[in-house]
Every structure is written in C-alpha cells, then in structure tokens.
Amino acid sequence: MIKMIQLVMLDVVKNRTVLAYLLLLSTLSWSVFFLEDSSTKGTLTLLNLMLLMIPLVSIIFSSIYIYNSSEFIYLLVSQPVSRKTIWISLYLGSVSALIVALFIGLGIPALLYLPLSIALYLISVGIAITATFSSFGFLVASAFRDKAKGIGVSILLWLFFAILFDGIILLLIFQFSAYPIEKAMIVVSMFSPLDLARILVLIQLDVASLLGYTGAIFQLFFGTKLGTIISAIVLLLWAVIPFLLSLKIFTKRDL
C-alpha cells in the first residue's frame, strides 16, 4: 500500500498541473501579503482565494487524473493488488500531492505573515477542502465512464457548492426573514463544506462581531470546543463519505 501511494505521489508530483497550481497559489498568497497591510484583510482575501481555487482545482484535477490514469489502473488491476488498495492509493497519493502544493504555496506565507493559530486554521481548512473536493472528483470519475461528461459534472458540482448553494441560502434567509432562523442556519451551513469552512475561519477572526446577532449565535456554537469538534467531524465526513461511495463503485465496476 505505502509503495503504491509513493508511486502515485511521484506520478502526480511530476504532473505539470500540480506545479502550476503551486506556482499560482504562491504567487497569489505572496502578493496578498505584500499588498494588504492588515493581517485580517490578508486572511480574508486569502480565504476568498482558497474557497475559489482549492475546490475547483481539487475536483477537476482529481477527476481528470483518474480519467487519464485509466491505462495505469488497467495495468495495476491485472497485478496481484486489490482494487481497494489501488483506489485508496490513488486518492491518498493525489490528495497528498495537492496538499503539499497547498502547503508550500499558501501554508508557508500564511505561517510567516499571520498569527500562528489563524494560519493553522487556514491550512487545516484548506486541507479539508482539498480532501473533500478530491473525493467528489473520485466519485464523479468512478460513476461516469465518459471523460467529457465527468468533467462537466465536476464543474457543475463545483458551481453548486461554490455559488449556487449560497444563492439558495440567500433565498432561504429572505423567505424566512420573519422567523428566528439563526440556529437553523447553523445546520444548513453544514450542508456545504465550503460554507462550513468559511464560517469556521471567520469566527476565528475578529470580524465575527460584524455578523451581529447571527454572528453571536454562530459564535456560541462554533466558538466552543464542542462546536469545533462537531464541525471538524462534519468536514471529515464530507471528505470520507463521497470517497467511500467512489470506492464502492470502483471495486464493483467492470473495467
């Protein structure tokens, strides 16, 4: 298994897309820190970038990676290696390559320029998003044989979580503006890994008090140890469940 993961990682690291991703991330994050004079603003800009780039790159990269590795997978499957091992290795290999890129590109500047706790928060949230959207990519690639269709679905999934979901939340808020919906909104935010990640970081920054009463309710939940643990578990589930689904499909699938 470890050998397999190493093999995949080497393969992914050599991939030019990952290198480009790394360069893009580091260019953006260094320029953010050079341009923004306040660290809160810097964190917010960085958070924005993360929420835009990481999911898009993770989902598209991992699904295309699986499609382009069909030969590799074909070769591996005829060897005495279980499909489970192959799939998990592909996942861990590609995710860890993306995380390495994330850490070098974004993590290092964040650690240098931001307070330690906030930098760690940003990095862990980034890792969680990478893992989640890579899982989505794997799920799409295992469910659709056709590459073009799969990439299309990946982009749609990204659009949904990055943009449409928030549109729906906005509608809900205005639809139910007569009711105290703050607590319900905590639950709703759990349905989008990106919203959850964003709120977790926002709560850490002192902008939280901008959120007014809503923010206070959120602070009461996400600010506590229990809330942090619950949201960490939910983020983890967002990464694990789609991957397990894809694993199930892949191990049962005819090649």
Partner 1 sequence: MIEIQQISKSFGKLKVLQDINIDLPKGACIALIGPNGCGKTTLIKILLGMVFPTNGLIHINGKSINKDDMYRAQIGYMPQIGRYPEQMKIEQIFEMITKLRTSGNNIDEELFTAYKLNEIGEKKMRTLSGGTTQKVSASLAFLFNPNILILDEPTAGLDPLASEILKDKILKEKNNGKLILITSHLLSELDDIVTHVIYMQEGKIRLYKSIENLKTDTQSQSFSKAIANLLKADSHD
Partner 2 sequence: MPCRAAYVCIVILTPLSLFATIWNVGTTYKLKKVHAALELAQSGDTIIVQSGLYTEGTLTINKKLVLIGINYPVLDGEKKAEVVSIKHDSVVFNGFRVQRSGYATLDDPGGIKVYNSNNVAIINNDLYDNFFGIYIQYGKHCRIQNNKIKSLGKDEQAIGNGIHCWKSDSLLIIGNKIQGHRDGIYFEFVTHSLIWRNQSEKNIRYGLHFMFSNNDTYVTNTFNNNGAGVAVMFSHKVNMFNNTFSNNWGDAAYGILLKEISDCVMQGNRFTSNTIAVYMEGTNRIKIYKCVFQNNGWGLKIQASCMDNSIELNNFLSNTFDVSTNGSLVLNTFSNNYWDKYNGYDLNKDKIGDIPFHPLSLFAVLVEQNNPVMLLYQSLFTVLLDKSEKLIPSLTPDNFIDESPRMLKIVL
Name the residues that contact partner 1, by CB under 8 A.
Answer: 3-4, 7, 11, 14, 69-72, 74-83, 252, 254-255
Residue 1 interface partner, choices partner 1, partner 2, none, CB cut-off 5-8 Å depending on type: none
Query: What is the rounded CA–CA span in Å between residue 141 and residue 151?
Result: 8
Least spacing, CB of residue 168 vs partner 2, in Å? 9
Of 69, 61, 55, 51, nearest in space to 16 by CA: 61
Least spacing, CB of residue 228 vs partner 2, in Å? 18
Contact indicator for 135, 240 with CB cutoff of 8 Å: yes
Q: Pick between residue 74 and residue 176 the one whose CB is nearest to partner 1.
A: 74
Query: What is the rounded CA–CA span in Å between residue 17 and residue 167?
Result: 31
Q: Pick between residue 149 and residue 253 the one whose CB is nearest to partner 1.
A: 253
Report the 3 state secondary structure along 61-106.
HHHHHHHHCHHHHHHHHCCCCCHHHHHHHHHHHHHHHHHHHHHHHH
Least spacing, CB of residue 11 vs partner 2, in Å? 31
Binding site for partner 2 (CB under 8 A): 37-38, 40-41, 44, 47-48, 51-52, 162-167, 169-170, 173-174, 177, 181-182, 185, 189, 194-195, 198-199, 202, 206-207, 209-216, 218
Query: What is the rounded CA–CA span in Å between residue 200 and residue 228?
Result: 8
Q: Pick between residue 81 and residue 240 the one whose CB is nearest to partner 1.
A: 81
